[in-house]
Amino acid sequence: MTFQAALKNTANEIEVMLDGLLSLETSRAPRVTEAMRYSALAQGKRLRPFFVSESARILGADRQQALRVGAALECIHCYSLVHDDLPAMDDDDLRRGKPTCHIAYDEATAILAGDGLLTVAFEIVADPATHKDGAVRAELALELARASGHNGMVGGQMLDLAAEQKHSHDLDEIIAIQSLKTGALFRFSLEGGAILAQAGADDRATMRTFADKIGLAFQIADDILDVESSPEQLGKATQKDADAGKATFIDLFGLDGARQKAGTLADEACDLLAAYGDKADTLREAARFIVERKN
Amino acid sequence: MTFQAALKNTANEIEVMLDGLLSLETSRAPRVTEAMRYSALAQGKRLRPFFVSESARILGADRQQALRVGAALECIHCYSLVHDDLPAMDDDDLRRGKPTCHIAYDEATAILAGDGLLTVAFEIVADPATHKDGAVRAELALELARASGHNGMVGGQMLDLAAEQKHSHDLDEIIAIQSLKTGALFRFSLEGGAILAQAGADDRATMRTFADKIGLAFQIADDILDVESSPEQLGKATQKDADAGKATFIDLFGLDGARQKAGTLADEACDLLAAYGDKADTLREAARFIVERKN
């Protein structure tokens, strides 16, 4: 199966799974569940679930279980967008071509919907349906919490806000921020499949390093898109970083330099997968896609 | 040990534990970790950790492990206060006698600190230090997520905001909201000790029902305090409910009726503990304290 077909397949399956997991019928507080659904069933690329499912496939874990971990990751990713879009944070009105959660509902509901999505992610991974071995479920919950918490994604978001204020242009600092803000969840998405497969330390390390490379490539590509695309193409506001005086990889490398750097990272990421042969072809295509995508 | 001494002991141990768990030294993003510490190391009563530790003691689980679960619960409780206090929610400036998190820091930091506290709770319970059996850790994470998520505490908060707007005075509705908003975490705190002890279904059911009774009694007592106390006594704004046009148990039962109802619930809660004999005396004292407290 080609990468695009595999990505589309996973996105469809995740949509169905999230629809079931965020059930309105069994909801005790329909408004917040609706707002969670509004934000999570918003047809993103579902890259993170795709990575879990590919890592799981390559290392021999069950696909349905991998999709559950992917759904949990998507809940974390979507909650972070809902909270980042709030007026006190990035103050964005548009996300994936739709009004952001606090515009469609209100700020209080958006805060609660984000909290609900964050929490339900742990409900999903800790549920016996995710793996029969409790130690695997607990490890998934532990690593997901580390990746998304104050020493992971939340910490990256905090550092990013601070960097904006002080107009930092230090390369190491920008990479460190990216590694937390975007990288930590990418890392968990690739390692999550390995945890499900109860793979050894070598496989886990390979998946983590692959994730680091493509995570950084992803962020560089994001910066390129931010200056090259229109809001219509991206479904969200562009040039926000430049407007906010935030240093981007373009400032550091120039546009061509940034393209080249992203390409090199994708090459390096692909090389890491040599031991998995053809089985890793879709993942290699994904690495290419990340640096060449148009939205 | 008397209840007051046991509560104080637990509060001290929780303070030390949270200080270690929310370490600044190992923080990747000190500002958000500081804001988390500001909100979590704020010397609350630590009632929920006390309940876990008592339930664990009565049913034979390890105290250090129970304190870890208590620390996780306190992180959830504190995150909910940080987010509830935000301008878009209850818009409170004062909490436990100190400026609320978004006043001491700023709104963006408070949102992220809340997210960080919510997330670290799962990092704490899923860590092998919490229990050697992975199935126990996963069950703790699952039940904690259920109790605090959109069909638990977050859902209760959503319903509470809606009830405010429509000025509902329906008793069943108010009890249902309380059961989610405050009750779900009380339920988890009592059941958490039973999960750690790998106790049977009967013990778990007893602890849950005890929690339901004292949870409702707690909320009624809160409503009484809200009309009878000064902001100085409570360390937070009072009469907010009446100002917001929110129905309270005082509206429904009158002040004397509310006191009587809370007392009856405490009696019923204590009766449930008959099978545990003297071992449950501290828990019985706690039930009394909840309806007689002054802050």
CATH number for B82: 1.10.600.10
- Contact check, Cβ <8 Å, B111/A111: yes
CB–CB of A247/A169 below 8 Å?
Answer: yes
Task: Give a yes or no: residue B130 inside a domain.
Answer: no
Which of A79, A100, A123, A144 to probe the B interface (max B CBs under 10 A)? A123
Q: Residues A195-229: pLDDT tens digits? A: 999 999 999 999 999 999 999 999 999 889 888 87
Task: Tell if the CB–CB gap between A151 and B29 is shorter than 8 Å.
Answer: yes
Q: What share of chain B is helix, strand, coil (3-state, %, to 5)?
A: 75, 0, 20
Q: Which of A138, A145, A158 has its CB closest to that of B119? A: A145
Q: Is B122's Cβ below 8 Å from some Cβ in A? A: yes
Distance (Å, whole) CA A42 – CA A15: 9
Which are the contacts of B273, defined by CB distance < 8 A and separation ≥ 6? B206, B210, B280, B283, B284
Q: Residue A113 belongs to what domain range?
A: 3-292
ipTM: 0.94
**Neighbouring-strand partners of residue B99:** B94
Q: What mean pLDDT do residues B232-250 have?
A: 67
Please answer whether residues B253 and B268 qualify as being in contact, where contact means their C-beta atoms are separated by less than 8 angstroms.
no
Nearest Cα residue to B18 out of B58, B78, B59: B78
- A51-81 pLDDT, tens digit each: 999 999 999 999 999 999 999 999 999 999 9
DSSP secondary structure, B154-184, as one string? HHHHHHHHHHHHHT---HHHHHHHHIIIIIH
Q: How far apart are CA A48 and CA A181, in angstroms?
A: 14
How near does any CA of chain B get to the CA of A126, in Å? 5
Say if the Cβ atoms of A138 and B134 lie within 8 Å. Answer: yes
Q: Strand pairing of A98-99 and B98-99?
A: unpaired
> What are the residues whose beta carbons fall under 8 Å from the beta carbon of A222, sequence distance 6 or more?
none
Calculate mean pLDDT across residues A237-253. Answer: 71
- Cβ of B138 within 8 Å of Cβ of A142? The answer is no
The answer as to whether B116 is a domain residue is yes
Q: Are B99 and B93 within 8 A, CB to CB?
A: yes
Using a CB-CB distance cutoff of 8 angstroms, which residues of chain B are in contact with residue A137?
134-135, 138, 141
Look at residue B131 and tell me if it is in a domain.
no
For B13-26, how does the pLDDT look when each residue is reduced to its tens digit (9 = 90+)? 999 999 999 999 99
The b-or-e profile of A65-79 (16+ CB within 10 A means b, else e) is bbbbbbbbbbbbbbb
Structural domain contains residue B13: yes
Would residue B88 count as lying in a domain? yes
Domain tally, chain A: 1
